[in-house]
Every structure is written in C-alpha cells, then in structure tokens.
Amino acid sequence: MSNVYDNILGLIGNTPLVKLNTVTKEIPAKVYAKLESYNPGHSTKDRIALHIIENAEKKGLLKEDSVVVETTSGNTGFSLAMVCIIKGYKCILAVSDKTKAEKIAYLKALGATVYICPANVPANDPRSYYEVAKRIAAETPNSVYINQYFNELNVDAHYQTTGPEIWEQTEGKITHLFACTGTGGTLSGSAKFLKEKNPNIKIIGVDADGSILKSYHETGEIHKEDVHPYQIEGMGKNLIPSALLFDKVDEFVRVNDEMSAYRTREIALKEAIMGGYTTGAVTQGLIQYAQSHELTENDFVVMIYPDHGSRYITKVYSDKWMEEQGFINNCFHNYDEVFKTEFIK
C-alpha cells in the first residue's frame, strides 16, 4: 500500500519545494521555498528530534521510562514531544518567556512538562533556559539531554536528509541557499551536503538584529554590544552554538523584527503560504541580499521555510500585536484595505 505508515513519524522529511511567484518577482532568479511545515510536527525540527532520539536508542542511552530534556523556543519541543509519545518517553522542556501562550499550550497538549525561563538574561545565567535544562537533566535519573545547540547530530540530521532532498529537487541546479540561523543545524547540515556536491553554491545565513552570529562570522569575536531584545522566535543567539558551522556559510544577512513581520504577512497574502515569523525573516534576508548582490535569471535560489504560521496567530498574524509594535503604520500604509474586517449589525 502506498502512502500508508505505521505511525506519524513515517511522515518526517521529503517536504515539497514551491516556487514563489509574487513576493520575490523583482528578483530575476528562480526562487523556491522548501516548506518544512509539511513535516507532521509542522517544522524542520522533526528531522533532528527523530534522528537524535533514534541515535540515543542505538547507543543504549534511552530505555523504558527514560526522560528526554531539552531547551527550546517551541519547534524542537513540539517535535521532541511528538517523538516521545510514539517512543514512550517522558519529555521535559525549558522555554523562554518570549514563547507565546499558544505554543506552551501546544507543548502541554503533547504531554510535555514545561519550565518557563526569562529570555533576557545571559546564556550562562542559572535562570536561562539553557542552564535550567542542563540542571533538570543532571538532577533527573534516567534522562538524556538533547543539547541541540552543541549536538553534532543536529547537523547530521540535515546532512542526511534536507541537503540531499534539496539537491535532488533542484536537479543539482541550486546556486544559493538561504536559511535562518538559531542552533545552525538546518543551515549547516544542508550546506555541508550541498558544498560537497558543488562548492560554488552560496550559503547565506539569516541572523536577527539583536543577535551576535553575523558579527561573529565576520570577526571571529563576540560583540556583546550587538545583543538586545528582539521579537523573532527561533533565530539568532547570544551564544555561539557548535551546531553552526561558520566555515560552511559564505555570508550572513541581518534582518529586523519589523520587516520580517511585514514579509511574513505579505507571503500569506500574496503566495497563500502561512509560514512562521522566520518565513518572513528568511525572505527579507533574500530581498536585502539581492539589493547588494547581482542575481540573474540563471540563478536558482532555495529558501528554507522552517515552520507553520498557526503557531504565530497571536503574534505576527495578530493585527493587535502588529499595531502594538508600531508595525502596521510603518509597513502597511493601506492597512484598512489589506486587512478589512466587516461586522454585521
């Protein structure tokens, strides 16, 4: 029987590549988006959750009644909780207080125990979600700490799956890969595979305004003055993850909250793709890159769209939230026409 699976984990991977026709029409290159929301957990993190957990099983690290512990901005947590349900493990997650209430509700619906930690503290602060997860793992018997930021299997999952998929889907014609960087695993693993196939492929990382990754790539030093609060979840960092292979990245582009939010909404309105906040961020990164680099009709650009917009309904897809940030007046000059709501009296 075709398209029949023993459980939901069989649906992970082999996500589609879709051409953008409107948002990037000013860019002469062919532009495609890899829709990772087609994974069963609706994000690219399904790939690493399954890969890391199955690797731990092979090594005998996970046994009956084991506990999986991790730091997450949401998506990795969803994926781990999903895999743990099927595998029979308990899941404990530490998230930052930037995480919206609906994401936390989603994690709890999947049976995860959730610890909420302050976002705007140094990574080594005992209250940070990194340190809280480490402490919980150390104090919990029969537990495994996933440690996605410093786990080489994060990179390997995408080297084994995402990179080969993109190469096959583009028939080896890809010239540029764009992806947002959080842990760095998606970009690094895909880049590692693609560079082996063709070292001339340009790998572009998209970083958040408020993160240190772009400047670290350019200088090899951490610039603490770059760090400030920002709204985009799941990208940028105030630490250097070893899962981000800087030598595989040709260039970083830094994007801000406002333009990333605008692009996210624009993609939904003009391409009918409901992507997450990072969908807008990576698209804004491409648009900024195209303003300073010559892209031609012979170029074949792939952007990785990491997750689904349903997780951002009370954030970037909320008119109220957009207005509170001051984004509506600045970006959507025809707001009343674009987002029209009629009430029947």
Domain membership of residue 336 (yes or no) is no
Q: What are phi and psi of 239, to 5 degrees?
A: -140, 170
**Does 45 qualify as catalytic in the annotation?**
yes
**Residue ranges making up the domain that contains 308:** 8-38+162-331
- Confidence at residue 336, expressed as pLDDT on a 0 to 100 scale: 52
Domain membership of residue 341 (yes or no) is no
Domain membership of residue 110 (yes or no) is yes
Catalytic pick among 30, 34, 45, 192 = 45
- Confidence at residue 120, expressed as pLDDT on a 0 to 100 scale: 84
Q: What are phi and psi of 209, to 5 degrees?
A: -70, 115
CA distances from 162 to 105, 205, 250, 253 (A): 29, 16, 19, 22
Q: Is 116:73 a contact under the CB 8 Å cutoff?
A: no
H or E segment and range at residue 167:
helix 162-169
Provide the token pair at 301: 């650009």
**Nearest to 204, CA basis, from 292, 331, 309:** 292
Give me the sheet containing 143-145, strands edge to edge: 113-117, 90-96, 67-71, 143-145
Q: What is the per-residue pLDDT across 272-314, written as a single tens digit (0 to 9) for each?
A: 999 999 999 999 999 999 999 999 999 999 999 999 999 899 9
Task: Map tokens 């990382």 to a residue.
Answer: 205
> Same domain, yes or no, for 125 and 31?
no
Domain membership of residue 276 (yes or no) is yes
Q: What is the CA angle 236-284-172, rounded to 5?
A: 90
The tens place of each residue's pLDDT in the chain, 345 residues long, gives: 778 999 999 999 999 999 999 999 999 999 999 999 999 999 999 999 999 999 999 999 998 889 999 998 788 999 999 999 999 999 999 998 878 788 899 999 999 999 999 988 888 899 999 899 999 999 999 999 999 989 999 999 999 999 999 999 999 999 999 999 999 999 999 999 999 999 999 999 999 999 999 999 999 999 989 999 899 988 998 889 999 999 999 999 999 999 999 999 999 999 999 999 999 999 999 999 999 999 999 999 999 999 999 989 999 999 999 999 999 765 555 555 555 555 465
Domain membership of residue 3 (yes or no) is no
Number of structural domains in the chain: 2
Domain membership of residue 142 (yes or no) is yes
Domain membership of residue 316 (yes or no) is yes
Q: What is the per-residue pLDDT across 178-226, written as a single tens digit (0 to 9) for each?
A: 999 999 999 999 999 999 999 999 999 999 999 999 999 999 999 989 9
Q: What rounded mean pLDDT belongs to the chain?
A: 93
> Same domain, yes or no, for 170 and 307?
yes
Assign residue 97 the CATH number of its domain.
3.40.50.1100
> Same domain, yes or no, for 213 and 105?
no
> Same domain, yes or no, for 181 and 105?
no
